[in-house]
A and B are shown apart, each in its own frame.
Chain A
Amino acid sequence: MFQSVKARIIALISVMGLTAAIAVPLLSNAQDAATPMTAEEQIERGAAIYYSVCVACHQADGNGVPGIYLPLNKGAIANLDDPTLFIYTVLYGRGGMPRFNTTYSDEEIAAILTYIRQAWENDAGAVTPEEVKAVREAYSATPIVSPTPDAQIPEGQNHPEERQDPSKASTPDA
């Protein structure tokens, strides 16, 4: 199963690479959201969105740009067992990353995240629209509160500013 998904992804990438300049990007389409996607449709849809939107910063190989755009290939946030922080980040933005909560449906967010969690060298579990819905609703009123303690993220794979450990001086008089 995993191999065939991989093969499909590679086929998709080459097709999209060839047609990138003329392809109409697959943007959100609320009407499509009503019918649940099969696992294969989810991967296809997720890959299509990844290679027309996410790719701008996170790159075709999912490695991002070191110190600038987080890696998704083997990236800590992308591969956490509990996808809550990943869902949250894509929905509400974080660390300068744009928010996509008004752009994509729960189904589309689930598709993008599922694709990423199974692409390249990743091998994490699929994300369901229900999980996305739950995170969307839980944080809609307080979108700036990060849902998962950053301590969950393995050492050295955090956001760049968190990798360093500047010795914290006591604040003088603020």
Chain B
Amino acid sequence: MDKTAKSLTKGSPMTRRRFLHLTGAALGSAGVLNVLNAWGQNAMDGLTEPPKWDGNGNGTKVIVIGTGAGGCPAAYELINLGYDVTIIEARDRVGGHVWTIRGGSSGEEYGKGVQTCDWPEGFWWDAGPSRVPFYHNGFFHYCRELNVPLIDHKNLNLNGWVYAENVDGELNATKIRLHEMQADMGGYTSQYLAQALDQNALDEPLSEEDLEHWKSYLINWGILNANDLTYRKSDHRGFAVLPDVHSPGTINDPYPLRDLLPFADSIMQAAGGYLAATATFDWQTTMVKPKGGMDALYDVAFREFFGDRLHLNSPVTKINQTPDDVTVTYTDSETSEPVEITGDYVMCNIPLSALLKVSVNFDEPMKTAIRSVPYAMALRMGIGFKRRFWEEDDWIYGGQSFTNISQLGILGYPDDNYLSEGGVMLGMYNFGTNAAYVSSMPYDARAQLALSLGSKVHPQMKDEFISAFSVAWHLEPYSLGAWPSFTAESREQVMPILQEPDGRIYLVGEHLSNVNAWMEGAVQAAWMQVDKLHTRVMQS
């Protein structure tokens, strides 16, 4: 499979397409999906750049609707292939969910009125995608192509805080450093395992040699005393008093296991998705992001490339296809009048949740597939502060702090301009019912809640607060959800329908991918759909 998938990335679109059709005939849709998985998702052997296409679109008219993470690369490739591309965007900016908030940014969620950001010059924060895994080569491809500089995104910072409340033991409602929790839990776990190994208490049949290797590994991993296999404190857990010219410094004793266990267990249960996520494939170091905000690629680089092909402030109300062409109706923001444009094909980057609000003469299977996909709720809040207390007072440069407060979730710190005057913290990130609950509040009440909860970790928050900007993606016009929530079963049922064109309309976006909620999924979907469209045009 790997070898096949790799050869697919080098071959002509015809070859890949035929291969998928042949596979589909032999294996059914699940077979095609598996091939696509290998083609698109197998990170170590996946797509790193768009296919090398032959031929020219020769002015075939394509209307790209939506300039999200998938619409932009699709439009870019089609323009380069010689298509006559018109790009229609509902919002006043390019990017869709890719939205960098700065002073002057404004938004209007359903039922919530307008909020306008008043942060000082130089403050920025990504309300949508904010970090890029090391293997998202499609995203990097366009950063290279359009000269977008990248910086580190720390994601994991062992000097960040962990805070848990409503837990047993002396650590209840306290914050400790992540390096303390990690060193102590690693140490105790190693100690008990090493001692169990030493007593031959394991069921597994292990040779003397196996046991010695494992014990030695644990001694070094958990920082154990080699003689009695007990966990001993080390600088892995940080200093209470730093070493300086006068002293070698002081390291506190480990937290008692009986206090640490309920605390750490609660953190892993509540924030396990986050904490463990700093070590999973997607979230492990090194992550990166464009310098100055994610919109450097979308609202700056792609926007400049599109030039006057791009129509902002133009929400689409209707897409009507006939056997010969497809007509898109959008509302001109200045005149409020409907405008009709006709093209040969549509590449539609509207999220499925919002696409339902547009009148489109899709075929029944496509309608059913679109309607069947639920979207997730998520709320993110950026909070501007006058002073970088997390750096000045707590010595946290980038990364995150973790809590077991489900309404608060994580706190995230900026990755640039260290020790400058003030900055923006990710002050709240929650999902599901928590996101629904917080999002039902007015913007101000959301911010007060975030400050009240966040102050348990950073008491400086209330004094240093400038203002907050929150985005509940399920209440955001033209988004109406954070990302699609597929199950394995629903994916298997709807993906083959969503991925195929309905007449002259091609969908594009991360909802066509296994890499959901990532920009990379949208980029790869764009390549797949441009491939199908171009192949069709070349054949006709």
Interface residues of chain A, those whose CB is within 8 Å of chain B, are 20-21, 25, 27-28, 52-57, 59, 65, 67-69, 92-99, 103, 141-146, 159-161, 164, 166-174
Contact = CB atoms under 8 A, between A and B. Distances in A.
Interface string B474-503: 110100110001010110011000001111
B425 to A, nearest CB: 21
Nearest to B497: A144
B321 interface: yes
Q: Which size class do B's interface residues fall under?
A: 35 or more
A145 B110 CA distance: 29
B372 A144 contact: yes
A56 B449 contact: no
B377 interface: yes
A164 B375 contact: no
A55 B377 CA distance: 13
Nearest to A161: B356
Contact of A21 (B320, B375, B376, B441): B441
B377 A98 contact: yes
6 contacts: A20-B440, A21-B441, A21-B448, A56-B440, A94-B374, A171-B363
A92 B371 CA distance: 12
Contacts of B322: 169
Given A93-B485, A98-B474, A98-B485, A166 B318 contact: yes
A79 B487 CA distance: 28
Interface stretch (B115-123, B249-257, B384-392, B428-436): B428-436
A99 B359 contact: no
Contacts of A142: 489, 493
A70 B449 CA distance: 28
Nearest to A60: B440
Contacts of B477: 68
B503 A96 contact: no
Contact of B359 (A97, A144, A164): A164
A161 B360 contact: yes
A106 B356 CA distance: 28
Given A56-B474, A143-B487, A98 B440 contact: no
B340 to A, nearest CB: 14
A57 B494 contact: no
A39 to B, nearest CB: 24
A172 B472 CA distance: 40
A53 B436 contact: yes
Nearest to A97: B374
Given A20-B441, A53-B433, A146 B368 contact: yes
Interface in B324-368: 324, 351-354, 356-361, 363, 367-368
Contacts of B449: 21
Contact of B356 (A21, A25, A160, A173): A160
B375 A98 contact: yes
Given A95-B371, A96-B481, A164-B359, A171 B440 contact: no
B373 A103 contact: no
Contacts of A57: 110, 436, 474-475
Given A53-B433, A57-B110, 11 more contacts: A21-B441, A27-B406, A52-B436, A56-B436, A57-B436, A93-B373, A94-B371, A98-B485, A103-B432, A144-B372, A144-B373
Contacts of B372: 94, 143-146
Given A97-B375, A98-B485, A143-B489, A174 B502 contact: yes
Nearest to B431: A98
B236 to A, nearest CB: 36
Contact of A65 (B111, B377, B440): B111
A56 B373 contact: no
A56 B359 contact: no
A69 B434 CA distance: 19
What 7 A-B pairs have minimum CB-CB distances, sorted nearest first? A93-B374, A96-B353, A144-B372, A166-B361, A25-B437, A56-B440, A56-B436
A96 B375 contact: yes
B368 A99 contact: no
A83 to B, nearest CB: 19
Nearest to B440: A56
